[in-house]
Amino acid sequence: MKLRTLPLVVTLITAPITAFALPEVGAMIGTNPTDATAALAAAGCDVTDFEAENGKIEAKCIETASGELFEVAIDPKTGLVTNVKAGD
């Protein structure tokens, strides 16, 4: 493989991952289920449920790329992500 084509190959391989990265802590998701569902879907995670837990909203979503369940904690006042972890 020529060295000049290497960046293109790397870009093509990692594109699905970088295009659908889960939101990071501090990312704006929204303060209502409609906005949050859309934001998480755009990040590649399909929401299955929202629950109240310890004063935060816990969005359960399935990452489309891996099929893995994630729990995304959202501050209901600011709409910011406060925690992201793999689901139980």
Can you give the binding site for other proteins, defined by CB under 8 A?
25, 31-34, 50-58, 75-78, 82-83
- Asked whether the beta carbons of 29 and 83 are under 8 A apart, the reply is no
> 64 or 79, CB closer to other proteins?
79
> 11 or 32, CB closer to other proteins?
32
Taking the complex as a whole, the smallest distance from the CB of residue 84 to other proteins amounts, in Å, to 12
Taking the complex as a whole, the smallest distance from the CB of residue 45 to other proteins amounts, in Å, to 18
- Structure-token pair, residue 81: 């992500």
> 43 or 74, CB closer to other proteins?
74
Taking the complex as a whole, the smallest distance from the CB of residue 42 to other proteins amounts, in Å, to 19
Q: Return d(Cα 83, Cα 58) in angstroms, integer.
A: 9
Q: Return d(Cα 10, Cα 6) in angstroms, integer.
A: 6
- Asked whether the beta carbons of 86 and 72 are under 8 A apart, the reply is no
